[in-house]
Amino acid sequence: MNSIHVLQVRKLYKAILKLNRALPPSLMGLGNAYVKEEFKRHKNCNETQAKIFLAEWTCYAIDLSNQLGVKGIKKGLTSIGSSLTEEQLNKFKDDQILQLHELLTTLKSKDVG
């Protein structure tokens, strides 16, 4: 992995954690744990996977920054994030579907979702 790539990954990671500070506390903790786990899990992925990973997390950061103001969720916004399309879900592997289900279960148990 070249140093430019490492810097890009590090900047994106820090930007996402910074954006997460504007989330409600229960979502911030859950989001930070998820981000840390995902970045750690993909630390040694191949170049193709790295491009996809960075593109998706960059989209996440852009979407979240558009939904958050300086002091948290923008006024008038009733939810955070966006729904997955059927096409997106069909591209997921079984372990990713399981991970989504676990995330949903965690959110419901915290009475956040």
Distance, CA of 100 to CA of 94 (rounded, Å): 10
pLDDT computed for residue 113 by the predictor: 47
Parse the chain into domains and list their residue ranges: 3-78, 83-113
pLDDT computed for residue 77 by the predictor: 67
Maximum Cα interatomic distance, the chain, rounded to a whole number of Å:
43
- pLDDT tens sequence for the chain (113 residues): 556 678 889 999 999 999 998 888 888 888 999 999 999 988 888 888 888 999 999 999 998 888 886 566 767 666 677 777 888 888 888 888 888 888 778 777 766 54
- pTM assigned to the model: 0.73
pLDDT computed for residue 11 by the predictor: 94
